Amino acid sequence: MPLTHDFKETIRARAQADSEFRQALLREAIECFINGELATGRPVLRNYVNATVGFQDLEKRTRIPAKSLMRMLGPKGSPSAENLSSILTVLQRTEGVRFTCAIMSPRSRRLKSPARSANSAGDRSSSGR
């Protein structure tokens, strides 16, 4: 479903006023791409571009025609890895951030510290259990 003009303007106004919001929008797009959620990542990235640099400026920086960029980030878009890398590199530089990747297990497991384990065992023994 296409976004309404008012919603796009709301995103643009918030992005221009709030750097944390801009960075979160860009981070969300990148996380979607990494996690295979391309159908979500493309419109999020498109919203980011529209709210920040715009497709004309992105065209100059990436040397990819604006119409091609719009198609790539459209509902049926399919940017190549090279083009997506170029786009994300430019946007990171523009935003003044650098994203890194971390490997995490699907379920995060909290490790008990040795002190905490010892205290837990001591608590059990002193309570008479």
pLDDT digits (tens, 9 = 90+) for 3-36: 667 888 888 899 989 999 999 999 999 999 999 9
CA distance 52 to 46: 10
The predicted pLDDT at position 112 comes to 54
Q: Residue 113's pLDDT is what?
A: 53
Q: What is the pTM of this model?
A: 0.74
Please say whether the dihedral angle defined by the alpha carbons of residues 16, 85, 38 and 99, taken in this order, is positive or negative: negative
* Tens-place pLDDT, residues 112-126: 555 544 544 445 444
Tens of pLDDT along 36-92? Answer: 999 999 999 999 999 999 999 999 999 999 999 999 999 999 999 999 999 999 999
> How far is the C-alpha of 100 from the C-alpha of 84, rounded, in Å?
16
- Sequence ranges of the domains in the chain: 5-102
Residues in contact with 91: Cβ distance below 8 Å, sequence separation at least 6, in sequence order: 26, 45, 48, 49, 52, 53, 58
Query: Kindly report the CA angle at 2 between 47 and 85, in degrees rounded to 5?
Result: 35
Could you give the CA distance from residue 126 to residue 10 in angstroms, rounded to a whole number? 59
Confidence band (pLDDT; 50, 70, 90) for 129? very low
